[in-house]
A and B are shown apart, each in its own frame.
Chain A
Amino acid sequence: MSQLSRNARAARFLVAPSVLLLLAWMTVPLAMTLYYSTVNFNLTIPGLRNFVGFENYIFFFTDPSFFAGMSNTLVLVGSTLLITVVLGTLIAVLIDSPFPGRSLVRILLISPFFIMPTVNALIWKNLLMNPVSGFFAFLSKTFGMTPIDWFTDVPMLAIILIVSWQWLPFAILILMTAMQSLDQEQLEAARMDGAGPVAIFRHITLPHLARPLAVVVMIETIFLLSIFAEIFTTTGGGPGTQTTNLAYLIYSQALLQYDVGMASAGGIVAVVLANIVAIFLIRIVGKSLAGE
């Protein structure tokens, strides 16, 4: 047998370790969650594991904090997407053509993405948003306004700002890169024909960015559905349930109230929700894979 086909045969097996590991990682815990979601299982009551069918799901869906968690999740994901995608597109277009110091501007713009979520949350909560000594309070006072008590009066807005600051650079980074593959000749031709900047943006830039934008929206959605550390370190889901999203709700049911059954039912709901988005994302990625 030639070296060639021997290598080819051996190479096929090289993918096996990854497949087996990921298969185990995906199926074992998920199967366990599925099982836990159908039994009465509380960490404080050892030995208790009787089958209860859909009871956990019914409890989860009828719990008033479920509605809060669900709507907070949608508000958080929706607002953050809107802010990051709109501003991200504008900024990516703004810095597309060369100007003095462009590479430094790029570095400054994408930096927040590399800040760990716990640092991000605590710097904003204390240094910027503190109603007495924070920088925003100082700004308000300078302009003769009463400082906002962010985490008491508008806790959700505070979380949205913190999370948007982290994800805006992601949108900028992706869209900025996508802008570079824009056909310069086509742009030049449009300008020659007398197209204004708005017309160019509307008819050339935006269609060119359609796929990158879709990718940004979906990847952000998947990560934003699971926002946890920013809430954990600032509000702990409060006041009341005002900033409790689905991820935080499940965490608190599992590790604060030890109700494994109900938390698992919630976990399955979160998985289903994420999968709805994931299907669309995978379809887009699959298209670009096939198009190579």
Chain B
Amino acid sequence: MKLHTEKVVKLTLVTIVSWLVAALIFFPIFWMILTSFKTELNAFSSPPSLFFWPTLENYFVVFERSDYLRYAFNSVVISFVSSILAMFIGIPAAYSMAFFPTKRTQGVLLWMLSTKMLPPVGVLVPIYLLARDASLLDTRTGLVIIYTLINLPIVIWMIYTYFKDVPKDILEACRMDGASLWQEIRHVLVPITMGGLSSTFLLSLILSWNEAFWSLNLTASQAAPLTALIASYSSPEGLFWAKLSAASTLAVAPILVFGWISQKQLVRGLTFGAVK
């Protein structure tokens, strides 16, 4: 009996503490969303108003005045195109290394990983100058090229770990049936690993959407994605908190949902398969 009460007390405690910690950590996001529905005057009031008449005005203003849709369009195009490209280049590479490994495969995989560890500032100057000379500064193409390359190692690694889990017999059976390489990948391998491939795509999308070194340094206005739009709020005039919150909420909402969906699979990609 005593053991039972002890268990109940422990469970209650764990529940309360966990919820408190979660609320504390989530609070800045909650506060941002709440502020986005306040008037600017309300957003700036001290003590902060918890009960107020919610308004959608900030969202309208953000859409109208800041050209929000252009930035959102850039973010969508840049992150989707670069992720699709990385998948197209990465799937064949992962296939080759997972099913036809050579003596060098392990070395190649680790070398690919090492390119991910190059600090961006180490190549800021040449990339900036190369982009300038190729007229790729402030273009979506420029960012797409860079994001494809910086996400490629993660994409290959993640897909590689999923392909490694596929039983070899299935592929051998379909090769016996005379399937070509393309048929084998397209009709057998991709359908089997669809779940893993989608998580890989989502991770690449999340990383590109949130990338804020190259987007801040290589774009000005034409190709600037949402990270750059939000950064432009760092030196504003007058009251702007509610609008900043509305623009921010819009910018993070889709990616937050993607993150929630794929949270369990992301670990593989984020740790290069070292933690599954």
Contacts and interface: CB of A to CB of B under 8 A. Distances in A.
Contact of A170 (B109, B244, B258, B270): B270
Interface in A234-262: 234, 246-247, 250-251, 254-255, 260
Given A18-B152, A21-B149, A116-B210, A127 B275 contact: no
B31 A128 contact: yes
Interface string A20-32: 0110011011101
| Interface size of B as a range | 35 or more
Interface stretch (B60-68, B98-106, B192-200): B98-106
Contacts of A123: 28, 31-32, 244-245, 248
Nearest to A113: B259
A19 B23 contact: no
A121 B235 CA distance: 13
Contacts of A177: 264, 267, 275-276
A200 interface: no
A155 interface: no
Contact of B22 (A109, A122, A246, A289): A109
B73 interface: no
Contacts of A100: 15
Contact of B275 (A116, A137, A212, A247): A212
Interface residues of A, number: 112
A266 B46 contact: no
Nearest to A119: B248
Across the A-B interface, the 4 shortest Cβ-Cβ residue pairs: A229-B212, A114-B259, A32-B126, A14-B92
20 contacts: A18-B92, A29-B123, A32-B126, A36-B125, A94-B14, A99-B14, A101-B15, A114-B256, A118-B212, A119-B251, A125-B234, A127-B245, A222-B117, A228-B121, A234-B234, A251-B124, A274-B122, A278-B117, A285-B273, A288-B274
Interface of A: 3-4, 7-8, 10-15, 17-19, 21-22, 25-26, 28-30, 32-33, 36, 91, 94-95, 97, 99-102, 104-128, 132-133, 135, 137-138, 141-142, 165, 168-170, 173-174, 177-178, 181, 211-212, 215, 219, 222, 225-226, 228-229, 232-234, 246-247, 250-251, 254-255, 260, 263-264, 266-268, 270-271, 273-275, 277-278, 281-282, 284-286, 288-290, 292
